[in-house]
Amino acid sequence: MTRVESSEPPLRPAPRLSIVVLPFRNLSDDPVQQYFADGITEDLTTDLSRLPHMSVISRNTAFIYRNKQIDTRQIGAELGARYVLRGSVRRSGREARVSAQLIDAATHTCLWADRFDCDTVDLFALQNEITGRIANAIGVELIAAEAARPTDNPDAFDYILRARAAGLKPASRAIHAERIGMLEHAVALDPRSAEAQSLLADALAHRVLDRLTDAAAADMARAEELVDRALAASPRSPTRGRWTK
């Protein structure tokens, strides 16, 4: 029997929050403007890598796909990336337009798209502003997308993602209860998680500040206890700066 080789790329496991920033295309009439598109790509790669739990494919690896018409599903499979960010840059005189799309690599579905029109008087400041805005938007979209994925056996990280997604909604008693419940599950599953403890402390404190609790004293006492545990478990945690000022 003749064996038929599959033409599909070998699958690599993709971390929950994994993304590749493909080289942004230069749509300007001047090919020299490619440096601006490359700067956007590089800064986005750096900014996204700073987001909690984010796994970002390296710039050098991503640039292999420059000017190649490859399906995002194939790129995701080859790199082990769950999401693909692609975009373009167009400059004309002092005006610049940057467009970006966030795509689910497994389904080839566009999850988010936006464009940014700016004046290029200060090119460095413009680049910082655009990449910061895109990175923030992508962070929110990825949290929402991952929190919405069904799972049979949620772990502590699943509950953290769901709680972070709930925290993006307008505050209400129900939303506070949902967020706190998710984080209580996370702490129960991973009692040593400084992140789960600090996020739960933050959620309890915000419920008090929003005056949406009937047990303010108990909530604050629990929050202080969680902060102490988080700082003891992880002295370098960002929690220290949030709660010790």
188-216 pLDDT, tens digit each: 999 999 999 999 999 999 999 999 999 99
Of the listed ranges 17-21, 44-48, 117-121, 179-183, the one predicted with least confidence: 117-121
pTM attached to this predicted model: 0.80
DSSP 123-144: HHHHHHHHHHHHHHHHHHHHHH
DSSP 8-class letter at 201? H
Q: For residue 107, give Cα distances in angstroms to 60, 87, 136, 165, 175.
A: 25, 18, 23, 21, 30
- The one-letter amino acid code at 53 reads H
H or E stretch at 88? strand 83-92
- Which pLDDT tens digit goes with each residue over 129-166? 899 999 999 999 999 999 998 887 789 999 999 999 99
Pick from 220, 212, 216: nearest CA to 243: 220
Average pLDDT, the chain: 88
Structural domains for the chain: 18-148 (3.40.50.10610), 156-243 (1.25.40.10)
In DSSP notation, 38-70 reads HHHHHHHHHHHHTSTT-EE--HHHHGGGTT---
SS3 of residue 191 by DSSP: coil
